[in-house]
Chains A and B, each alone.
Chain A
Amino acid sequence: MPNVIEMKGITKIFPGVVANDNINFHLKKGEIHALLGENGAGKTTLMKILYGLYTQTSGDIFVNEQKVWIDSPNKAIELGIGMVHQHFMLVQPFTVAENIVLGAEPTKELGILHQKEIIRQVEEISEQYGLMVDPHARIQDISVGMQQRVEILKALYRGADILILDEPTAVLTPQEVRELTSIMEKLTAEGKSIIFITHKLKEVKAISDRVTVIRRGKVIGTVNTNDVDVRELARMMVGREVILEVEKQEATPEEVIFSAENLHALNDRGLPALDGATFDVKVGEILGIAGVDGNGQTELTEVLTGLRSLASGKVCFKGEDVSRLTTRKRIERGMAHIPEDRQKRGLILDYPLSLNMILGHHYQKPFSRGINLNYSKIRENARGLIEEFDVRTPNEEVEAKNLSGGNQQKVIIAREFSRDPDLLIAAQPTRGVDVGAIEFIHKRIVEQRDAGKAVLLISLELDEILSLSDRIAVIYEGKIVGIVDAKDATEEELGLMMAGAGIQQGR
């Protein structure tokens, strides 16, 4: 098969970062080519160069063996390249059909939209590729999986032969992932070529024909997917041997320490985000909350930690109603919180590590005497935590913004664990951290449980939920639609619940 894309010696330098370092990448006609790498490896950057959103610092691009200079997405589209971004770019109040044709709309004289023609064309193209959509539905009313289809159709409508999908599975349930897989297979059967970006090893194996692994901006290698196993891929991606399974014993849960009853709350736009969520957490267990992004996880975390007010419902901790308590009071009662967005919530980036590591306890002994900060104790605390949690930093006075994402996360983890909390609320504790750090964080969370504490784990990564939790609750549209024992849970069953097919609330 001929190469439809050849990227040769591509280098992209952002101020202070070499995002792509002399990358060679070839895409064959009709293949699904996975681009695998950890967060920050440079995958998106490479594809944005191909799609004309960035221009390379050096290197050449060949499309169908012709050397090309792609300086805008329009140029890319002209060359038959389409991209579906990590974050969709759809116009919410428009219909599916309008979004698909947007930018190349068929019009009648005087530029009036030719509505009938639009619908006809959209129906035609969706039938051709077996991508069924309702052309009349508004984007705001359809599921994320559907929106993704619309994005793909949009690219196809503009005549894309080469499709770039940037982390398309991140927002999908397992069932939707399977559907996407079959769509991709159909597209390649039609002669399209697909670049599929991911950081999940299992997906590479399940979906792709070949895989190119990128680490820190450099290509580690391109291999046929059938010739490698998951361990091998992990090693290529991380650069060393990794343990993929979390080692843990059976839980020995005791009494209920924390309960949420019939929680209702609004999101930032004033719309209902929590709609009667109910669950409880026992001492000595990890309760995982699974769900597709945007089903109330953020609001749930905030409500439990006092960062968002409850419209109604009740949160109890150690037998006390804490629903109306401030965040500070809840911390004092023994709650700790690893926030989902470390840069927005978890750290004061301009503060040195030492000051970040006391946030929340800064006004208490030994960090404060009266109103005076005790810097020697503060530094001592930081040095101890840096050592214990293996934070890679020259010293404790470095500002948090100068650390890598994984190390920033370790600072937060260190701080929250150092409080020896009775309940740890961990929201996306491993988002954006490298595999090595994931191992470490998972181990600490299990240790926390084994030390007789309670853990509430809220994560979008189903694998993480499955490997850590003792019980799993599934959240869908602000409700807990089911709670299952992790031992008996299957990806299948959870996936169905994540899509809203609820079984009755079990305990």
Chain B
Amino acid sequence: MDRVLNSKLVKTITPWMSNLIVPILAVLFALIIGGIFMIMVDANPLEAYTVLFKSSFGSTKNFFETLVNATPLIFTGLSVAFAFKCGLFNIGGEGQFIAGYIAAAWLGAFFHMPWYFHIPFVLLGVIVAGAIWGGVPGLLKAKLGVHEVISTIMFNYTALHLVNYLIRTVLVDPGYASTPLIDKSARLLRFYQIDFLNLRQIARGSRLDLTFLIALLVAFIIYWILWKTNIGYEIRAVGHNPSAAEYGGINVARNTFLAMAISGALSALAGASQVIGLQGKAYQLFGFIGHGFTGIAVALLGKNHPVGVILAAILFGTLQRGANSMQSVAGVPKEVIFIIQAIIIFFVASDYVIRKIYRQIKLKKEEVE
């Protein structure tokens, strides 16, 4: 037994496990409590969860559709996580999302060039737009000490109203409450349009497009920046202990700005993914779409780690997608899904409490042994 416990494998896995245990417990608890609610409204939780599972994982098509929901959440989750690594709470994901949303629609529809220029051009423009929308609050924090929570909220509303104004006036597609369709050269392919590995068959009926792969790629890049470069070293140092970072010759103001700008760019990519992928245009907004806010929950559940963020985004994508089918097939009100989401967030946020209980259980066990 001891040999097993001391083996290298166990030693490398254990820290991972302890990171995973809280999110997993949180999800389990939430599902159980969600089930209790279902019983209270006379629905069968088993049936409902089967529907939920099937609608998200029952077929490749369904799974791909879940990934459609997950894609923007990967970006916004990374966005929140990245800022958090620098000790910043970016709740401006909505505004930055909108900045990327409109930038993609504008650059995609009003500029014309071959696709191998157009797509990088749009992505670059989106990144700049998001970097500005996140970077300005970063600058305000770094130079004037304005708290990023306040400034990013203000930037959310500014973005919402500004963009609606733009869509109504200069960027309008006459007769529609949206911008014109972007050029084909700026649009990313859907999986079923790709002649590769039988994708035409596998992905038929699903709207999943290449922005999902971009999201995975970006998650990898963020991982690399944070843990493999000295840029990440500095950003995380500032996040953990600004005084010590300063002592080590690290420019706290610069890193604050940089982290917010990158965070903003990530949320903007979420907005762009909807335009250059899913929709092909930007619609007038009646309110915040919510991907930015859900990104906070995704980052929280994903423990601010890119891999965790991807998994959490898929889970939230599943719940969002399952909500509709559960209502229509199993007769479970949509709100139950919201309750489950809320409980997940609640539990992960009270990570500390759970950890404490877990530790005490462990202690008790040791005493018994």
Q: Name A residues whose Cβ lies closer than 8 Å to a Cβ of B.
A: 305, 307, 326-331, 337, 339, 344-351, 355, 359-360, 362-363, 367-368, 371-373
Contact = CB atoms under 8 A, between A and B. Distances in A.
A370 to B, nearest CB: 8
B6 interface: no
21 contacts: A327-B248, A328-B250, A329-B249, A337-B247, A345-B243, A345-B244, A345-B247, A347-B241, A349-B241, A350-B241, A351-B240, A359-B244, A362-B230, A362-B234, A367-B230, A371-B230, A372-B229, A372-B230, A373-B229, A373-B230, A373-B233
A348 B249 contact: no
Pairs A-B, 4 closest by C-beta atoms:
A328-B249, A359-B248, A360-B248, A371-B229
A373 B226 CA distance: 11
A432 to B, nearest CB: 17
Contacts, number: 65
Contacts of B244: 344-348, 359
A331 B246 CA distance: 12
A351 B244 CA distance: 11
Interface string B219-246: 0000000001111011011001101111
Given A368-B230, A373-B229, A373-B230, A362 B241 contact: no
Given A328-B249, A371-B229, 13 more contacts: A307-B246, A328-B251, A330-B249, A345-B247, A346-B244, A348-B241, A359-B237, A359-B248, A362-B233, A362-B248, A367-B230, A371-B230, A373-B228
Contacts of B250: 328
Given A368-B230, A371-B230, A351 B247 contact: no
Interface in B304-338: none
Nearest to A415: B248
B228 A372 contact: yes
A243 to B, nearest CB: 31
B228 A339 contact: no
A112 to B, nearest CB: 43
Q: Is the interface of B mostly helix, strand, loop or mixed?
A: helix
A351 B250 CA distance: 15
A351 B229 contact: no
Contacts of A363: 230, 234
B247 A307 contact: yes
A182 to B, nearest CB: 41
B231 A371 contact: yes
A326 B243 contact: no
Interface in B47-76: none
Contact of B240 (A307, A329, A348, A373): A348
A489 B251 CA distance: 42
A331 B249 contact: yes
Contacts of A368: 230
Interface centre among B229, B231, B249, B251 (most CB of A within 10 A): B249
A334 to B, nearest CB: 13
A367 B229 CA distance: 10
Contact of A348 (B228, B229, B245): B245
A62 to B, nearest CB: 32
Contacts of B233: 355, 362, 373
Contacts of B247: 305, 307, 327, 337, 339, 345-346, 359-360
A175 B240 CA distance: 42
Contacts of A327: 246-249
Contacts of B246: 307, 327
Nearest to A306: B249
A337 B247 CA distance: 9
A348 to B, nearest CB: 5
A238 to B, nearest CB: 30
Contacts of B243: 344-345
Contacts of A355: 233
B243 to A, nearest CB: 5
Nearest to B237: A348
B234 to A, nearest CB: 8
B226 to A, nearest CB: 11
Nearest to B238: A348
Contacts of B241: 344, 347-350
B190 to A, nearest CB: 35
A394 B228 CA distance: 24
Interface centre among A344, A347, A359 (most CB of B within 10 A): A359
Nearest to B233: A362
Contacts of A329: 249
A359 B229 CA distance: 14
Contacts of B237: 348, 351, 359
Contact of A350 (B231, B234, B240, B249): B240
A355 B229 CA distance: 12
Nearest to B245: A348
Interface centre among B244, B245, B246 (most CB of A within 10 A): B244
Contacts of A345: 243-244, 247
A501 to B, nearest CB: 35
